[in-house]
Structure 1
Amino acid sequence: MALPDFEPHFPDRPPCWSELLFCGVIGVTLLPNMIATLSSLPMVVVAFVLTTVALASDGVEDWFHRIGMAGRFLLIAGVFMGVQLVAELAPAGRPFLNDAATGVLLATLLYFIAFLARERTVSGWTATQEPAE
């Protein structure tokens, strides 16, 4: 049963196993290394707060659905290539990128944990458009 106060801020479906696996892999493998090399805690906090505000807004999920699977792929690929480009062209910016990415990943994991706690169940391997009961 979903908590009604948080309805607009989460998808209208339970999380799927692939999302759970993805968050688990990030939380166990990637985040510990990123946290170990932090250089600016304020940057982590700013990225965390901005990501939390964005994830809690009503328009983010709608926008993701509007851009479709190809748009999401292009977005992820563009961010990945942009980060790589900045890291190669401006090595001094690597600590900034690490700190910002750490804040984003921490906020995303917090959001997913709240989503999982809200639904208290996990669906199949892929997300469906069917509403949760």
Structure 2
Amino acid sequence: MAPRDFEPYFPNRPPTWVEVIGSVATTGLLLPNLVAEVDSFMIAAAGFILFLLALPFEVVEDCFHRIGMSGRGLLVLGVFIGVQLIAELAPQLTPILIDASTGGLLATLLYFTAFLAKERTVSGWRVTPDE
């Protein structure tokens, strides 16, 4: 059990297998390529810090719960389209975007690892409504 000081910063449920497998796949497939393309460690550090500060806020988790699965799918699609538009219309911003997203991904993986270490268990494949 984690110290009480950290309890409010994590969901009040154990991680699911989908989250664990997604994190492992992301770490293995995306992270090596992103880290290899980092041009500015300052921008990557800024992305890391900003994501690390935003992830534990309950407002972020509540927003994701409110928009539901279809909303999350649309959000992912919107980010994907936005990144493609930036790459096509403003290619000079692409390295900045890659560096910031690399830092954000590292922060997300650190947060999830801490969450997994705190819970020390994995639940089913999906989050049930009562959790």
Check whether TM > 0.5. Answer: yes
- Using the size of structure 1 for normalisation, the TM-score is 0.92
- In structure 2, what is the equivalent of residue 57 of structure 1? 57
- In structure 1, what is the equivalent of residue 106 of structure 2? 106
Shift of 1:126: 1.2
- In structure 2, what is the equivalent of residue 80 of structure 1? 80
- In structure 2, what is the equivalent of residue 16 of structure 1? 16
- In structure 1, what is the equivalent of residue 44 of structure 2? 44
Shift of 1:72: 1.2
Shift of 1:2: 4.8
- Code of the residue aligned with 2:126 in structure 1: it is T
Shift of 1:54: 0.5
Structure 1 runs not aligned, ≥5 long: none
- Give the Cα–Cα distance (whole angstroms) in 1 for the partners of residues 78 and 102 of structure 2: 18
- In structure 2, what is the equivalent of residue 29 of structure 1? 29
Partner secondary structure for residue 115 of structure 1 = helix
Shift of 1:108: 0.4
- In structure 2, what is the equivalent of residue 71 of structure 1? 71
1:64-96 per-residue CA deviation (whole Å, 9 max, x = no partner) reads 111222221111111111001101112222111
Structure 2 runs not aligned, ≥5 long: none
Q: Does the 8 Å CA contact 1:13/1:130 hold for their aligned counterparts? A: no
Shift of 1:130: 3.4
- In structure 1, what is the equivalent of residue 92 of structure 2? 92
- Using the size of structure 2 for normalisation, the TM-score is 0.93
- In structure 1, what is the equivalent of residue 121 of structure 2? 121
1:8-29 per-residue CA deviation (whole Å, 9 max, x = no partner) reads 1111110001100111011111
